[in-house]
Amino acid sequence: MNVLVINCGSSSLKFQLINAETEDVLAKGICERIGIDGRLTYQPTGGEKEKSDKAMPTHTEAIQYVIDALTNAETGVVKSLDEIGAVGHRVVHGGERFASSVVITEDVKKAIEECNELAPLHNPANLIGIEACEKLMPGTPMVAVFDTAFHQTMPEKAYMYGLPYEYYEKYKVRRYGFHGTSHSYVSKKAAEVIERPYDQLKTIVCHLGNGSSVTAVMNGKSVDTSMGLTPLEGLVMGTRSGDIDPAIMEFIAGKENLDIEGVMNVLNKKSGVFGLSGELSSDFRDLTDAMNNGDKKAKIAMDVFSYRVAKYIGSYAAAMNGVDDIVFTAGIGENDDYVREQVCSYLDYLGVDFDKEVNKGLRGTQKELTKPGSKVRVFVIPTNEELAIARETLALVK
Ligand code: AMP
């Protein structure tokens, strides 16, 4: 069965058409600048990448262009919509309601809408994508795969904040965690690589991308994760601060004459390695170049980032009373050898025998980074959220 995987943002929409049985990607692309003007990038596997400007006042036009491209007589990969058996939608927040993926019904859409206030930038856009697909592909089953679902196994002691209990009762203020599809996919893959049962392993996954999070996966279940009620908590990220002393908010508001919205804007968009580097860049490729050219702030940004990752690994080794394997994934985790070396330089005490030579220059490929006999094994495992969504969708629709 071919599954169309949709990751819908407020002004963009990424898609992949995957044969969910063979796991081959048939075509992929992105619609950008939806609601502004509109641009479609489309690439059939083995074919040329095409870019075209198309008017996309809403997501419905964007999805129509995706369907047109996929079914195009010359460059398409299917003859008609009948060859698309299901659509898998990435949905960011499923709150406490969804501990696994679900087939989308009116009831499910209502529940996703109820989570809007927990992810105001993401969930409304995810819903718009679902409704646009429903309109253009009536009768095709749709599945929602939630970023939060994998973390619903966390125990209370990990998800409760030290805040008045009534905030949890009244408003569901708690840790939810994100990137669950990636943490789940990568931790399972690690168990396959190590050839040990998934339900008997203590794994720490470091998903280091534009947004970054670390998860402790014990016996196949997420038991703690660094992102919280929102994706702002935890690691230092591209432009997000991660953990800070909450009192800094009032202090900076006073000094800079900012209201709460202004402070949140700083924490979400002007902080992280972007802020630390003096607004040089949030991209680790730029930071690496600058650091290699002697830029002190770029080096500070990369070192603060790596140190925070190492601290989370230490705390999750404690949370699980041990660790068998540590996995780096996502844009930075898969590609940045400096960050990986820095992080692992703090992990000797755990029994990580890191192989600097293997790590050097390694980009985007699955590889073990520890020497034979290392007590704790470290890997790079590329994530594949689209494939994970296609698998979930196939399993539910079958
Ligand atoms: P993601 O959110 O997983 O797509 O990751 C995107 C981030 O990965 C970018 O902002 C970069 O910081 C980082 N990245 C991508 N490629 C490289 C690379 N070759 N070296 C270092 N960092 C990279």
183, 328, 335, 359: which to mutate for ligand 1, most atoms within 8 A of CB?
335
Cβ–Cβ under 8 Å, residues 180 and 222: yes
What's the pLDDT at 354?
98
Is 303 among the catalytic positions? no
Residue positions counted in the chain: 398
Gap between the Cα atoms of 17 and 388, Å rounded: 13
Instruction: Classify burial at 115, counting beta carbons within 10 Å of its beta carbon; exposed 0-12, middle 13-18, buried 19 or more.
Output: buried
What's the pLDDT at 118?
87
- Measured from the CA of 383, which atom of ligand 1 is nearest? 3
What's the pLDDT at 355?
98
- Measured from the CA of 284, which atom of ligand 1 is nearest? 12
- Measured from the CA of 330, which atom of ligand 1 is nearest? 3
282, 285, 343, 386: which to mutate for ligand 1, most atoms within 8 A of CB?
285
- Token output for 340: 């990986």
What DSSP assignment string belongs to 245-295? -THHHHHHHHHHT--HHHHHHHHHHS-HHHHHTTSS-S-HHHHHHHHHTT-
Cβ–Cβ under 8 Å, residues 194 and 325: yes
Atom 4, ligand 1: which residue's CA is nearest?
331
| CB of 286 closer than 6 angstroms to any ligand 1 atom | no
* SS3 (DSSP) at 348: helix
- Token output for 115: 């989570």
Distance 92 CA to ligand 1 centre (A): 21
Gap between the Cα atoms of 125 and 7, Å rounded: 9
Gap between the Cα atoms of 137 and 127, Å rounded: 15
- Token output for 229: 């009620």
| CB of 44 closer than 6 angstroms to any ligand 1 atom | no
What's the pLDDT at 36?
94
208, 277, 284: which to mutate for ligand 1, most atoms within 8 A of CB?
284
CA distances (Å), origin 180, targets 92, 145, 201, 203, 342: 9, 10, 17, 14, 25
Residues of the chain with pLDDT under 50: none
- Measured from the CA of 288, which atom of ligand 1 is nearest? 21
| CB of 84 closer than 6 angstroms to any ligand 1 atom | no
* Active-site residue, from 53, 82, 147, 337: 147
| CB of 382 closer than 6 angstroms to any ligand 1 atom | no
